[in-house]
Amino acid sequence: MTAIEILKQLKDKGVRFTPQRQAILEFLLGTDTHPTAEEIYHHVKAKFPGVSLGTIYNTLNMLKEHGHILELSYGDMSSRFDGNPSNHYHVACTECGKIVDFHRPLLELEREVGSHTGFQVHGHRLEFYGVCPQCAARDIKKMN
């Protein structure tokens, strides 16, 4: 689904179509780099110099609530956003914060978790932590 299609669909829910929102969503849909709010801000600013970080966060939260994007948050780094909330998991570098996708059929554990805990389970998150090839190479160089 394109950014315009998603935003038109959101109109029924009282969400207005604005060029800033279009730019934010188009950027998110067109990249697989899992950008931070700050990175989205800088990118959108190129097209809309007056845009503010507040608007970025407003839009991201709105899109997140409607299930069109995913927020990936870690303890000491800022959140990253993923415009493709579909069948994949994440591998995060604990040194530079980069996140890459790992495609794999989604785990079918949710029903089992629900029956064991009494929760109404409506999602899960699976992430792997490690050191990316670039950071590993940099670390080796530092040692010499």
Partner DNA sequence: GTCCTTGCAAAACGTTTGCAGTTCA
Partner DNA sequence: TGAACTGCAAACGTTTTGCAAGGAC
CB of 124 to a second copy, least distance (A): 4
9 is in the binding site of which of DNA, a second copy, none (Cβ under 5 to 8 A by kind)?
none
132 is a contact residue toward a second copy (CB under 8 A):
yes
Which position among 13, 16, 122, 141 is part of the footprint of a second copy (CB under 8 A)? 122
57 is in the binding site of which of a second copy, DNA, none (Cβ under 5 to 8 A by kind)?
DNA
Is the CB of 50 or the CB of 133 nearer to a second copy? 133
Among 83, 97, 84, 87, which residue's Cα sits nearest to residue 132?
A: 97
Q: How far is CA 88 from CA 94, 126, 141, in A?
A: 19, 9, 33
Cα distance between residue 142 and residue 70, in whole Å: 35
Which position among 19, 102, 106, 115 is part of the footprint of a second copy (CB under 8 A)? 102
CB of 69 to DNA, least distance (A): 13
Cα distance between residue 88 and residue 24, in whole Å: 22
Which position among 47, 65, 66, 119 is part of the footprint of a second copy (CB under 8 A)? 119
Give me the phi and psi of 50, to 5 degrees please. -85, -5
Is the CB of 4 or the CB of 112 nearer to a second copy? 112
